[in-house]
Structure 1
């Protein structure tokens, strides 16, 4: 019902990483955050195969629904699986190495170097999400239905151990390759039909209607000023900047690569980082092109919608 796609935030981080100099004081922080977000995305990708084995007529599957509660606060669930007998929340973790679980308390990861690293325990996190989802369903008059959850470790090679021998690993912590079998186990345990298939479809539609993507000002978040962004069209072949516009084509002086539409990524970067409205002058400054007429032809060729006339024209990216 809601497929897995890269979030707008990841695209924003990729654009920011491209447009910030290696010497910028926030460069390392931006790169680390981008890697963390991509790691989480790959962890969720690992769930698409076992989920794809389920009969699609029996379940509604929604990736990353983000809902607002009655206190105007938002909560986001990695994967929400809806069935007629229960609702299942999946919290994906792309962790590797050795994981030591102290039930729902502390988690310690031991990586390749042997260094111990404390991690936030995902069990209380997904428990809280289940609680907030329950309240949200009650507010929308949905029937009382069991809400279950799993913490899914993406790498099957990740070793999961109890921190203390007398405290077993929680049953809700599983590897991704066991997800399908654990859902089958739930199906045998929960067989009372709470809603019919039309009810599942209505709930899926309601969640899609109420879903809200986060609106993140990444420049402000990472303390980057607009005039600190690298301007110019980036060569898609060698990443050199800027390319030069000549007779409607972009040319790279570093590798001699030529492209007709290399500017599209740069306009996308500007939309993600600054906003979706741009004037001819702003486009000239960002793409490093002197000619007003060349920029007008580029923007008209891209069939961008615009408002205003002549010198006051604003294009919508």
Structure 2
């Protein structure tokens, strides 16, 4: 049973919007692109886990993707996948790494790619061990059942070669390929046969974890040093992604590919919400959508069925 499905995080959506709205010549463009690429790589690694997880009998497992929990000190920790059973909790740390990986037990990981260049990577084993420790403390914080907490580091590509850096230092047994995840879970099931909670308790614990999940509140403009005035304004074409589109008789038109759209402005307003904020006035909408007429802009905002506060010139729409 999937209690929290895998979806792109709000931060990824923010990065995608920022990448769309920042010029190729902006000094932060490369940094934005690299961060987005890194986040999307991680997301694809988590997607690789969905197939083996779907093989598990649904009533016996509660699956929570990307829970982000706040501890008693106000600090947050995030887990790629948390899998609940009546017998144990399993943490999955996904890595979308390719090439050859050299593990020095809990120390460094070196990746050798197609070019043969060595790249040092943070070892995910200490990372997931820390997550296990923090989750154990978090469960105690709410007087929740102390279920055994296990973990795997899952390498997405079955073709990725995993080797020990030194022959006398073995690869941690918790580091596995994604295509072996189902079999390793079955092995755990053979080891852990004494239930700590019943099925109702398992589901209640999972629902409580989902309830306590918090999305990070990130000001991406501030984080990447981008001024609001530097954002590319206008409505982008949903067909060819160029812009700005022009509005005529309530219909958006792309002069490049001749595409017409009635609701293309909704995506632009979604970018505004992700990058600037979820409140917008008619004047601000005119500026961002590049529409001169206040009446036309009002009709666009009304078409979006946005809730609003205030009246007339002081009206603010909630995106």
TM-score by length of 2: 0.98
Give the counterpart of 2:151 among 149, 152, 163: 149
- Name structure 2 gaps, 5 residues minimum: none
How big is the shift at 1:71?
1.1
Equivalent-residue separation in structure 2 for 1:242 and 1:178 (angstroms): 48
- Partner residue of 2:240? 238
- Partner residue of 2:24? 22
- Partner residue of 1:121? 123
Task: Quote the RMSD (CA, aligned, Å).
Answer: 0.7
How big is the shift at 1:237?
2.1
- Partner residue of 2:272? 270
TM-score by length of 1: 0.99
1:67 aligns with 2:69: yes
Write out per-residue CA displacement over residues 158-192 of structure 1, whole angstroms, 9 at most, x where no aligned residue.
00000011111111000000000000000001111
**SS at the partner of 1:57?**
helix
Give the counterpart of 1:248 among 231, 242, 250: 250
> Which region of structure 1 is more displaced relative to structure 2, 246-255 or 74-83?
246-255
- Partner residue of 2:295? 293
Equivalent-residue separation in structure 1 for 2:315 and 2:147 (angstroms): 54
Give the counterpart of 1:54 among 49, 53, 56: 56
- Name structure 1 gaps, 5 residues minimum: none
- Partner residue of 2:134? 132
Equivalent-residue separation in structure 2 for 1:301 and 1:272 (angstroms): 20
- Partner residue of 2:44? 42
The 5 A counterparts of 1:100-119 are 100-119=102-121
1:279 aligns with 2:281: yes
**SS at the partner of 2:172?**
coil
Give the counterpart of 1:228 among 210, 227, 230: 230
The 5 A counterparts of 1:85-234 are 85-234=87-236
Write out per-residue CA displacement over residues 215-243 of structure 1, whole angstroms, 9 at most, x where no aligned residue.
10000000000000000011122222211
Equivalent-residue separation in structure 1 for 2:71 and 2:261 (angstroms): 48
